[in-house]
Amino acid sequence: MWRTAPPFGELMAGCRRSALHLEMRDHYDDPDEAPRVEAWKSGYRPDPADRATWWRPWLDLVAETVGRGVEIRRARIVSEPVSEYTRYLYDGTFTNIAAGERIRWLPRKKASALALPGNDFWLFDGRLVRFGYFSGEGTYLGDEVTDEPAIAELCATAFESVWNEAVPHADYTV
């Protein structure tokens, strides 16, 4: 069944084993993130020693979720050479990893033989899929969730295919 997604915090709170996230866009235009992107463009980089300045409340949610024993993995399919926005993501990824996420990068040209859903998604516990919808410019348009088993299986298979081909963050360079 398809329905409007509940708040993301509720989805994470209900998660017991795994939360998998596949990102396939080279740019996201999030007004809440715009100040961080502009600061990055001006030369600001998160200080590894100053966790209080990192992206809140997201990283707190990740740390709490991982602390409950949930594995969080994120795979990013990226065009190369990478976009400016992807460089921004890359420079801040150490904070996600410090909070407990595992992250890999897959150059888009290596994804050509993979069957992928048409939209970014989160897969919770292998059964609930949250698709995020974006405009061509990267503006967030909304999301839906479904617990249809065939769609969950499609997303699980797609994610694992990407994960197996992707490069761990520590080994990927932009």
Domain chopping of the chain, boundaries: 2-171
Q: Which residue has the tokens 């979720």?
A: 65
Q: What is the pLDDT of residue 77?
A: 98
State how far the Cα of 166 lies from the Cα of 77, in Å rounded to an integer.
8
Positive or negative CA dihedral for 38, 39, 45, 47? negative
| Chosen CATH of 2-171 out of 3.40.50.10490, 3.40.5.10, 3.30.870.10, 3.90.1300.10 | 3.30.870.10
Query: Does residue 161 contact residue 114 with C-beta atoms inside 8 Å?
Result: yes
State how far the Cα of 151 lies from the Cα of 145, in Å rounded to an integer.
10
Q: Which residue has the tokens 């069944």?
A: 1
pTM score > 0.85 for this model?
yes
Tens of pLDDT along the chain (174 residues) come to 899 999 999 999 999 999 999 999 999 998 888 998 999 999 998 888 888 777 678 889 999 999 999 999 999 999 999 999 999 999 999 999 999 999 999 999 999 999 999 999 999 999 999 999 999 999 999 999 999 999 999 999 999 999 999 999 999 999
Q: What is the pLDDT of residue 165?
A: 98
Chain-centroid distance, C-alpha 130? 12
State how far the Cα of 101 lies from the Cα of 94, in Å rounded to an integer.
9
